[in-house]
């Protein structure tokens, strides 16, 4: 019988490490008198916000209130959320939801179509079956995976624009917008910061980064791309960005090992098993974080050839992919002014 290594504590530690790296390695300098920073927990992850401006503290407090509001509406774990109510009424009736939820679910379906179903918000039955990153993580029985696969179909999400309601076509189907909600939330925080005239800020929602403006000294924000073959905090390269979202999906984020085999959390909606696309890290650079979030998981699963083609067709979005044979693929908008390779193993 193989040994299963739980990742709950490992995941928490990794989140903390990400936070330390982003805020103390790449964001140099002490907290200035007009700068505020605050950490919290929402959307199932650690939140770190840092802003510079006369109203920085007020902006951050308002942003944290907004994040709680989004979490309350879109969490699949809160019984009172819009998502839980949709799931409860699956196969029975539509659920009238808040405008935020309606927008996010519609956006999720839009990306499901673009990504040919490799991103699918109806994946919750499979995610729950594997439970990777929790104390219940396990390899499900094949028969249970096959049964769950019959419930996965983004075309079964029915929208009623007139009544702002969403319905799942079949009983036991379930939505999970965790793969896109953080992106929406990051954009909402950015917009709040703009309202408070914040010109320089770093928004970190569990590794979903939005670098607003530039650093206080006018230079670009520096954000590292994790080397998926090495321990946390070791990077293959550095992105230099202003007013950009950076979202990465990787097989090193959440996983467990059984009988020497690694089972990561990125489940392929078509097979029911962790993706084996050969991509092990997909980083999306975009103007809006909801786009990066919606794309990163799907392109990871769809494979390098299709992933490159899809990203190249979407204006204003670029990507960096790392494959298991240690090759780096960059879309046409990534040049030396944006990305600097620092790991000699990839030269």
Q: What is the mean pLDDT of residues 139-164?
A: 98
Residue 141 domain flag: yes
pLDDT tens, residue by residue, 80-105: 999 999 999 999 999 999 999 999 99
Do 95 and 56 sit in the same domain of this protein?
A: no
Q: Count of CB atoms within 10 A of residue 65's CB?
A: 10
Q: What does the block give as tokens for 52?
A: 């510079």
Residue 3 domain flag: no
Is 309 a residue whose pLDDT tops 50? yes
pLDDT, position 347: 82
Residue 263 domain flag: no
Residue 282 domain flag: yes
Do 281 and 313 sit in the same domain of this protein?
A: yes
Residue 173 domain flag: no
Measured between alpha carbons, how far is 140 from 142 in angstroms, rounded to an integer? Answer: 6
DSSP alpha helix (H) spans, the chain = 8-24, 56-74, 82-88, 99-114, 124-130, 142-149, 181-195, 289-302, 304-313
Do 306 and 218 sit in the same domain of this protein?
A: yes
- What percent of the chain lies above the pLDDT cut of 90? 86
Is 209 a residue whose pLDDT tops 70? yes
Do 104 and 227 sit in the same domain of this protein?
A: no
Residue 87 domain flag: yes
Residue span of the structural domain in which 27 resides? 8-72+180-258+273-346
pLDDT, position 32: 53
pLDDT tens, residue by residue, 14-72: 444 444 444 443 444 444 558 999 999 999 999 999 999 999 999 999 999 999 999 99
Strand 255-258 and strand 45-52: pairing? unpaired
Q: What is the pTM of this model?
A: 0.90
pLDDT, position 253: 78
Do 65 and 134 sit in the same domain of this protein?
A: no
Type and span of the H or E element at 322:
strand 318-323
The answer to the question of whether 271 is labelled as a binding residue is no
CATH code where residue 120 lies = 1.10.3980.10
pLDDT, position 25: 38
Q: What is the mean pLDDT of residues 184-191?
A: 99
Do 229 and 283 sit in the same domain of this protein?
A: yes
Residue 46 domain flag: yes
Our count of domains for the chain comes to 2
pLDDT, position 34: 84
pLDDT tens, residue by residue, 311-334: 999 999 999 999 999 999 999 999
* Mean pLDDT, all residues of the chain: 92
User: Of 140, 168, 196, which residue constitutes the final position of a domain?
Assistant: 168
Do 280 and 251 sit in the same domain of this protein?
A: yes
Do 310 and 198 sit in the same domain of this protein?
A: yes
Do 112 and 242 sit in the same domain of this protein?
A: no
User: Of 135, 168, 201, which residue constitutes the final position of a domain?
Assistant: 168
Residue 265 domain flag: no
Measured between alpha carbons, how far is 322 from 299 in angstroms, rounded to an integer? Answer: 12
User: Of 112, 141, 168, which residue constitutes the final position of a domain?
Assistant: 168
pLDDT, position 10: 45
pLDDT, position 23: 42
Do 87 and 216 sit in the same domain of this protein?
A: no
What dihedral do alpha carbons 300, 302, 308, 313 form, nearest 10°? -110
Do 98 and 53 sit in the same domain of this protein?
A: no
């Amino acid at each position: 019988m193989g040994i299963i290594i739980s990742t709950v504590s490992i995941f928490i530690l990794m989140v903390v490490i990400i936070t330390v790296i982003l805020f103390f390695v790449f964001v140099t300098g002490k907290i200035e008198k007009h700068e505020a920073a605050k950490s919290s927990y929402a959307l199932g992850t650690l939140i770190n916000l840092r802003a510079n401006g006369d109203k920085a503290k007020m902006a951050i407090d308002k942003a944290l209130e907004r994040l709680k509001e989004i979490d309350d509406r879109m969490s699949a774990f809160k019984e009172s959320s819009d998502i839980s109510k949709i799931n409860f009424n699956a196969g029975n009736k539509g659920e009238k939801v808040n405008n935020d939820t309606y927008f996010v679910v519609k956006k999720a379906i839009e990306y499901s179509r673009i990504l040919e179903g490799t991103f699918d918000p109806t994946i919750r039955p499979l995610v729950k079956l594997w439970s990777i990153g929790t104390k219940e993580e396990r390899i499900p029985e094949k028969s249970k995976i096959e049964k769950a696969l019959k419930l996965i179909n983004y075309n079964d999400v029915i929208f009623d624009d007139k009544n702002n309601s969403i319905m799942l076509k079949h009983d036991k189907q379930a939505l999970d917008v965790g793969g896109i909600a953080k992106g929406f939330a990051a954009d909402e925080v950015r917009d709040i910061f703009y309202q408070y005239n914040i010109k320089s800020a770093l928004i970190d929602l569990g590794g979903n980064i939005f670098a607003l403006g530039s650093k206080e000294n006018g230079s670009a924000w520096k954000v590292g791309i994790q080397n998926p073959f090495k321990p946390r905090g070791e990077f293959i390269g550095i992105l230099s960005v202003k007013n950009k979202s950076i979202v990465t999906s990787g097989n090193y984020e959440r996983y467990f090992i059984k009988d020497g085999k690694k089972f990561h959390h990125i489940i392929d909606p078509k097979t029911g098993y962790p993706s084996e696309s050969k991509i092990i890290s997909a980083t999306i650079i975009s103007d809006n974080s909801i786009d990066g979030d919606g794309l990163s998981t799907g392109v990871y699963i769809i494979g390098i050839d299709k992933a490159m083609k899809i990203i190249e067709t979407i204006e204003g979005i670029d990507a960096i992919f790392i494959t298991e044979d240690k090759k780096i693929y960059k879309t046409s908008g990534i040049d030396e002014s944006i990305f600097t390779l620092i790991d000699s193993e990839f030269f």
